[in-house]
Structure 1
Amino acid sequence: MAVKHWSKMQERGNRLGMQILLVCYRVFGRKGLWLVLFPVVFYLFLTGKTARQASHAFLTQARKVNGNSKAVTWRDSFRHFRCFADSAFDKIDAWLGRIQQHNILYTNEVLFKQLDEQQQGAIFIGSHLGNLEVCRALSQHRNSKTINVLVFTHHAVEFNKLLKSINPDVAVNLIQVTDLGPDMAIMLKEKVEQGEIVVIVGDRTSTTTAGRVIEADFLGKPAPFSQGPFILAALLDCPVFHLFCLKDKKPNGETCYRVIFEKYADKLVLPRKTRQQTLQQIVSDYAQRLSFYAAAYPYQWFNFYDFWQNDEQVSRSQNKEN
């Protein structure tokens, strides 16, 4: 049986469940809700064979890169699952305004301020490492910037609709994408020209078409990365940034979130004669930065599938996880 593509794995959860989660969170708080949620997470861990195996493989590779020869155990993978569940609470905190500015530590914040002052649009290329939701706190404190986030799954859309319902003032537009076609590119180009931000993840391959990838080294092994986000960045003809948001601890033990802006280029240019070589370098540079932070924060890696799988050999026709 063919291995399934990430986009065709069953999304475990529904809107009612998310609403119940939100209500319980508001009533019992974070610690109280964990008492209820812990057995649920453990059940998903026991029954989620594909995700469990992917966690083990990823943590093993991350340790290898870090020079750690200690074998990954089921406890390590379960911690990985718990971190993923905990990230849902971070999303809620971000939308409820519970994450204060003193809990957000910026790297290269001046870069964002320059965009704001110049009323210039840009594209931020993020990932499923850490929690991009927390970055939406940016829009609560910089009202002049509208942030457009491209999302690729129905589950993400539903969860974000729920979050939007509890704080409709956040200047974030969610745009569901099935394919980055010409119409989408034109719409996003208009938004950038109006000084808005476009956020897209660079660590998920196409949901519809196999083979539109470039292989680049990720944690010491070649992995497929979609060409789409980087071609889009070139079409938008605007500054390009790598964006990461990672949960951390201050020296006093207080939880904080590191929002990291790394300017990659004033704009991406793909010359016709060297298009493929240039694209290869751009993707490789992104993969290198993603590898760096993934190795440093392995439990915040939230791609629970075989990230190194051959993109042309995975099936996009199946709908449920076995």
Structure 2
Amino acid sequence: MSEQHWSKTQERGSYIGMQFLLGVYKLFGRRVLWLFMFVVVFYFYVSGRKARYASLDYWRRLHKFDSSQPKPGFGTGLKHFCTFADSAFDKIDAWLGRITPAQLHYQNQHVFDDLVARRQGAIFIGSHLGNLEVCRALGMRHQNCVINVLVFTEHAVEFNRTLQRINPNVSVNLIQVSDMGPDLAILLKSKVEQGEFVVIVGDRTSTSAVGRVHYASFLGEPAPFAQGPFILAALLECPIYWLFCTRRGDGFDVQFSHYSDALSLPRKTRQQALAQVIDDYAQELQRVALQYPYQWFNFYDFWQRDEDSVRHKEK
């Protein structure tokens, strides 16, 4: 049965509503904002059938894969939605400069600092698990540190524009992507050669190209992962790092790990090499998901066959 592709899922809420909540947050802080937000989140949870079912499906698969994980149910799903809403406040805090260095627990921070010092361009492959926004804003503590973030929806661009209105001094280059073609590769190649960083997520399939995926094992079952981000990483001929930023208590774990100095996809063994790197990414994503299960923010059928997803808007 065909279902809509993740990119065609209608964003709920409005720009005016988002501005109102941001205003409340700036004036009164997170605790007061949650008096409003819990009602909003509860409403979206109860009325948002597709997202709620996707959350429940995720918890079923997770618990089946690892019985020590929380059991699927109403309370688990609601907490999942609340965690997602709470992550938006962390994005705002990052852009307002409210997150202190003491709240960050880096893995291999010296590696990132060394890249900046040497002006070595690199590609960071992250996900919608956790909160990459924290890393984006905090990376600006370095002079001459330029971060280019690839985004795939207009909603993501608008949300980040809203955040930039809060703190115009934070400069992150947002590049909206509809197709990973030669023009994009050339643009990013020039940025990497200038010592800039490129951030891309590896857990979303293409918004336009059908079937350009590799099915990797994720929580015990095959899930489609786009080939595009990893082909792009090979074309840029630069170091590749996995990047995850997850909340832990009052702070954040920033997991930054080296994967390859340069990804090689030989013509004769291209598909095998591509499958291997995607499998490696899927295993890393799974590892972090088991550590931070509530911070999985893909609220759609992640395991749906890519060939069956509907990318056009239905009339």
Report what 1:234 is aligned to: 234
Aligned pairs for 1:87-166 within 5 A? 87-166=87-166
CA distance in 2, matches of 1:71, 1:277: 36
Moved more, 5-14 or 300-309: 5-14
Moved more, 63-72 or 296-305: 63-72
- Whether contact under 8 Å (1:139, 1:170) holds in the other structure is no
CA distance in 1, matches of 2:69, 2:294: 17
* % same residue: 59
- Whether contact under 8 Å (1:149, 1:173) holds in the other structure is yes
Report what 1:275 is aligned to: 270
- Whether contact under 8 Å (1:9, 1:319) holds in the other structure is no
In the TM superposition, residue 166 of structure 1 has moved relative to its aligned partner by 1.5
User: Aligned in 2, Cα 1:49/1:138: closer, same or farther, shift over 3 Å?
Assistant: same
In the TM superposition, residue 111 of structure 1 has moved relative to its aligned partner by 1.1
Superposition CA RMSD, Å: 1.3
Task: Identify unmatched segments of 5+ residues in structure 1.
Answer: 250-254
Report what 1:298 is aligned to: 293
Q: Secondary structure at the match of 2:262?
A: coil
Task: Identify unmatched segments of 5+ residues in structure 2.
Answer: none
CA deviation digits over 1:17-68, x for unaligned, max 9? 2211111111121000110111111110011111101111111222233233
Aligned pairs for 1:14-53 within 5 A? 14-53=14-53
In the TM superposition, residue 13 of structure 1 has moved relative to its aligned partner by 2.2
- Whether contact under 8 Å (2:59, 2:70) holds in the other structure is no
Report what 2:261 is aligned to: 266
Q: How many residues align?
A: 315
In the TM superposition, residue 318 of structure 1 has moved relative to its aligned partner by 2.7
Moved more, 64-73 or 130-139: 64-73
Instruction: Report the TM-score when normalising by structure 2.
Output: 0.97
- Whether contact under 8 Å (2:218, 2:283) holds in the other structure is yes
User: Aligned in 2, Cα 1:319/1:78: closer, same or farther, shift over 3 Å?
Assistant: farther
The answer on 1:307 being equivalent to 2:302 is: yes
CA distance in 2, matches of 1:230, 1:14: 34
CA distance in 1, matches of 2:305, 2:219: 16
Aligned pairs for 1:3-82 within 5 A? 3-68=3-68, 71-82=71-82
Return structure 1 stretches of 4+ with deviation > 6 angstroms: none
Moved more, 260-269 or 171-180: 171-180
In the TM superposition, residue 70 of structure 1 has moved relative to its aligned partner by 6.2
CA distance in 2, matches of 1:21, 1:190: 39
Aligned pairs for 1:235-250 within 5 A? 235-249=235-249
Report what 1:252 is aligned to: none
The answer on 1:285 being equivalent to 2:280 is: yes
Q: Secondary structure at the match of 1:136?
A: helix
Q: Secondary structure at the match of 1:55?
A: helix
- Whether contact under 8 Å (2:185, 2:236) holds in the other structure is yes
CA distance in 1, matches of 2:276, 2:2: 31
- Whether contact under 8 Å (1:151, 1:177) holds in the other structure is yes
Report what 2:167 is aligned to: 167
CA deviation digits over 1:116-166, x for unaligned, max 9? 121100000000000000002332311221000001111111110010111
CA deviation digits over 1:220-247, x for unaligned, max 9? 1100000000000000000000000010
Instruction: Report the TM-score when normalising by structure 1.
Output: 0.95
CA distance in 1, matches of 2:78, 2:275: 35
Report what 2:198 is aligned to: 198
